[in-house]
Amino acid sequence: MDIFELMKKGGHEQIVFNYDKETGMKSIIAIHDSTLGQTFGGVRMVHYASMEDALRDALRLSRAMTYKCAAADEDKGGSKAVIWGDPEKDKSEAYLRAFARFVEMLKGRFITGVDLNLDLTDASIIGRETQYILARSKEEGSSGSSGVTTAFGIFAGLKACAKFLWGDESLKGKRIAVQGLGAVGEPLLGHLIQAGMEVVATDVSEKTLQRLQKQCGLKTVKPNLIYEVECDIFSPCAIGGILNDQTIPKLKCKLVAGCANNQLEDEEKHGKMLQDRGILYAPDFIINAGGVIQAIDELQGYRLERVRLKTERIYDRLLHIFEMARKEKILPMEAAIRYAESRIREIHKMKRLYVPR
């Protein structure tokens, strides 16, 4: 594969490959665009099938982070780190600290936070070797898991979607199929149930599914059957790339809105497939920005009230993007990208002004 051609196509600035011979830790840090400032993006640990898969994931996710930060009105660029390894077998204190030392070498050009298959305990370990990690535990003086804030933003976004689709932001009586009950999916359940929604859920962890079924009285299905649930809303809250040629024809909903990153396997093709089936798609990097808003807020001294107010703006932002898509006759994802890119362009113009330091 031609890595420079991939960078050119995606608009990436920098890719850093890291290897620690003592622990076997392999990671890739992809920096997409630093126009708006210091770059931010989570780190995930995945047992990828190949280096190419790991690289493509880092490239896609870092690009999405650029748009997420820009659209959320944050002065941060987009980046992402992936650790190529089996989280069940390879992860150890030394392994994570080795990764963290590579982050520290970038001297703040890249700031991170834990993502898929990494938790607050792992964040604490990473934080022993680098100052450039956010959203650690509250006991360490940080803001804690960003899952709760992301869930709050998803719920605000769901109300905006309902307003656009059905003319009323109330979600009472609506049926929602939730795929994934992890760091965001589980706290999201509380909002959905409180709103009077009928919830059908699934998770790859049978233990998690049984626990929440007992606690909340959920209706549950096997993971492979979630796409076929008759519902008003399908909410992907697990891994990305799940909306594709095989799954989209199975959907029986009017809206797709969830917290997973890069839900569309192919942005244009599968966005069009959803539209052709009369299904509204809430662009993922718009609706799931709550966690990023929380993490970045730590850099100016974390305040919960400020984070919630900024996260609530997801409601108005989504309505604006849906109206923009309808007016310009484009897909919601395309409208969301244009929205983010317009801010990047405007700030780029402003930066021509020299400010002495």
Give 245-279 as a 3 state SS string. CCCHHHCECCEECCCCCCCECCHHHHHHHHHHCCC
Whether residues 159 and 219 share a domain: the answer is yes
Whether residues 93 and 203 share a domain: the answer is no
Q: Is residue 349 part of a domain?
A: no
What band does 354 get if pLDDT is binned at 50, 70 and 90? Answer: confident
Handedness of CA 298, 300, 302, 305 (dihedral sign): negative
Alpha-carbon distances, residue 241 vs 38, 151, 270, 280 (angstroms):
27, 20, 10, 17
Q: Is residue 242 part of a domain?
A: yes
Question: Residue 140 carries which DSSP code?
Answer: G
Taking only the tens place, the pLDDT of each residue in 167-194 is: 999 999 999 999 999 989 999 999 999 9
Q: Tell me the C-alpha distance between 110 and 114, whole Å.
A: 13
Question: Which residues form the catalytic set?
Answer: 80
* Confidence at residue 33, expressed as pLDDT on a 0 to 100 scale: 95
CATH number, domain containing residue 9: 3.40.50.10860
Q: Is residue 65 part of a domain?
A: no
Whether residues 129 and 218 share a domain: the answer is no
Whether residues 310 and 169 share a domain: the answer is yes
* Confidence at residue 18, expressed as pLDDT on a 0 to 100 scale: 98
Give 299: exposed, middle or buried? Use CB within 10 Å, 0-12, 13-18, 19+. Answer: middle
Taking only the tens place, the pLDDT of each residue in 275-304 is: 999 999 999 999 999 999 999 999 999 999
Instruction: Give me the number of domains the chain comprises.
Output: 2
Q: Is residue 356 part of a domain?
A: no
Of 109, 140, 171, the one marking the end of a domain is 140
Mean residue pLDDT of the chain comes to 95
* Confidence at residue 43, expressed as pLDDT on a 0 to 100 scale: 97
Whether residues 244 and 284 share a domain: the answer is yes
Q: Is residue 352 part of a domain?
A: no
Boundaries of domain holding 7: 3-59+77-140
Other C-beta atoms closer than 10 Å to the C-beta of 179 total: 25
Q: State percent of the chain over pLDDT 90.
A: 88
Tokens of 222: 């096997």
The pLDDT of residue 320 is above 90: yes
Q: Is residue 350 part of a domain?
A: no
Question: Residue 183 carries which DSSP code?
Answer: T
Q: Is residue 70 part of a domain?
A: no
CB–CB of 38/65 below 8 Å? no
CA-closest candidate to residue 16, choices 125, 104, 136, 116 = 104
Taking only the tens place, the pLDDT of each residue in 257-271 is: 999 999 999 999 999
* Confidence at residue 116, expressed as pLDDT on a 0 to 100 scale: 87
